[in-house]
Amino acid sequence: MSDELEGSDRSSIQRKVQSDVAAQGWSWIWVFDPDAKHSPFAYNIGFGSSFGHPEVVVVGLPEEVSGDVLRYVQTVLAEGREHGDGDISGENLEGSRVQFRAVPQDLLVANLVQASTFYGETPFVALQLVWPDRDGNFPGEGNAPAWLSDRQALSA
């Protein structure tokens, strides 16, 4: 995945993350597999330190849409609203409900590399914002098609 960078590239990314968090309270990273074996994803860095809220991951959407979704989540947080594991919200993805699900610790370490670097020894948590199919089914629900779970899988 493209988030796995060598030393100087990683430090330049961390400088940008630090600068973004200092200036606006958060930053975000786009991660993609050039071989397209895994779904692309985006995640923020700084919601935990700036808002006391879990970081948020969006999987399987285009880069621009993912960035827009994370920006909207930040707006909601700045207004004092929060999301937790299992919460369903109609305010984060235009025209559709989304669900927030806790990201297991092993997937945090494997996938949110820049967030792990940013927080260092300080533990952090993340929620995955999952989106439904056209019929409103979320991944893993009885009527949800298999492709929906596959497209939103955050793999180690």
Average pLDDT, 10 consecutive residues per value, the chain (156 residues): 50 92 96 89 96 97 94 93 92 79 93 94 96 92 93 85
Closest CA to 63 of 16, 2, 126, 145: 2
**Cβ 93 vs Cβ 23: under 8 Å:** no
For the chain, how many helices (H) and strands (E)?
A: 6, 6
Q: What are phi and psi of 127, to 5 degrees?
A: -115, 140
Q: What pLDDT, on a 0 to 100 scale, did the predictor assign at position 2?
A: 40
